[in-house]
Amino acid sequence: MIQRRTLLMAAGAATATVAAPAFAQIGDKPLRIICPWPAGGATDVLCRALGRELQGAYASAVVVENRTGASGRLGVEYVKQQPADSNAMVIVSASNFGVHPHVYKKIPYVLDDFTPVGTICDIEFCLSVGPTVPAEVTTPQDLIRWVKADPGPRGQIGIPAMGSVIHFAAYRVAREMGLDLNYVAYRGGLPVVQDVLGGHIPLGFTQVAEAQAQLSTGKLRIIGTASAQRPKTLPNTPTFKEAGFDAVVPEWVGFIMPANAPAADVRRLNAAIRTAVDAPRLRETFEKMNFKPRGKETPEEFARIMRQDFAEWAPIVKATGFKVEE
């Protein structure tokens, strides 16, 4: 199903006249942001927030299209099939090009099918526990001792998206802690948090924002975050790095266009995204969602990051033996 919404249409005549020189550089085509995830989700919210900032800064109109399915792969494949000058870009993450090629037997695209534009933010993850875990378990070391005392039932951990960065980030954290956990698949982070809260599963590994929203219940505790620094919204929650574990595993989010997209358009769009990342409204969205702003990489730097991720995730995925036959 395709859901197409125009974010912000062309402004009034006076404003349009002032902005006309910028619009003339790219013609009258709207910027099409393809979101491979459903409307209303975190990725969709991010696309629409960015679209508001790019309106007038890059294009006379910005449209978000939700093209969902196949763990985000359908939206990426759709952009691959678009003309080079279609002014279409798709939001992607490290899962798409760093992990999925090592997980899925068949992927209908490779990095060379696209033109990297730039990054926008990092998503950060955390490990949380619920009411089945004793209150005295407050640190990673406490958790290690508790799980190892009865690893069968205590070693179950909910994962929102098997075969993605968050899955293998959880694996890396567990490996650093010396734990052999049982990964339980869920369709999204919120169901994971709900089952941890309900005592159906002891551990959960989700985006920070998804767990943080339930801290006020008093039933959920975040044991550690897989980030380089403590999230601003969790100043009292240590990172796994602080606890002595080499487990800094954020997931970048960025945008790509079809292969051979006009170089001038890519440069202008990259510059517009760099400016947008510093805009107060977008920063407010980042803070609410616990996303760490990026956006300063050039298209060439972004391409290097994507290729580096592909190489770095290969041995980690291989070590798990996890594969999806599709």
Q: Which residues 6+ apart lie within 8 Å of 196 measured at CB?
A: 128, 129, 130, 158, 202, 203, 204, 220
Residue 151, number of CB atoms within 10 A of its CB: 14
Q: 0.85 cut: is pTM over it?
A: no
- What is d(CA 77, CA 58) in angstroms, rounded to the nearest whole number? 24
Strands (E), 68-149: 88-93, 114-123, 125-129
Q: Which residues 6+ apart lie within 8 Å of 317 measured at CB?
A: 99, 102, 103, 168
- What is d(CA 95, CA 101) in angstroms, rounded to the nearest whole number? 9
- What is d(CA 269, CA 249) in angstroms, rounded to the nearest whole number? 28
**pLDDT digit string (tens) for the chain, length 326 residues:** 444 444 443 333 222 222 333 433 444 789 999 999 888 888 999 999 999 999 999 999 999 999 998 888 999 999 999 999 999 999 999 999 999 999 998 899 999 999 999 999 999 999 999 999 999 999 999 999 999 999 999 999 999 989 999 999 999 999 999 999 999 999 888 899 999 999 999 999 999 988 998 998 899 999 999 999 998 889 999 999 999 999 999 999 999 999 999 999 999 999 999 999 999 999 999 988 889 999 999 999 999 999 999 999 999 999 999 998 76
Q: Are 202 and 158 in contact (CB under 8 A)?
A: no
Q: Are 2-123+251-320 and 125-225 in the same CATH fold?
A: yes
Which string of DSSP letters, residue by residue, matches 233-279? T-TTSPBTTTTT------EEEEEEEETT--HHHHHHHHHHHHHHHTS
Length of the chain: 326
Q: Domain 125-225 is in which class? A: alpha beta
Q: Which fold has domain 2-123+251-320?
A: D-Maltodextrin-Binding Protein; domain 2 (3.40.190)
Partners of 4 in beta bridges: 65
Tell me the three state secondary structure of residue 200. coil
Cα diameter, the chain: 71
Would you put residue 292 in left (φ > 0), alpha (ψ -120 to 50) or beta? beta
Domain ranges in the chain are 2-123+251-320, 125-225
pLDDT at 326: 65
- What is d(CA 113, CA 187) in angstroms, rounded to the nearest whole number? 29
Q: How far is CA 238 from CA 47, 133, 138, 157, 191, in A?
A: 30, 18, 10, 20, 24
Distance separating the N- and C-terminal Cα atoms of the chain: 21
Q: Which residues 6+ apart lie within 8 Å of 159 measured at CB?
A: 166, 167, 170, 183, 184, 185, 186, 192, 205
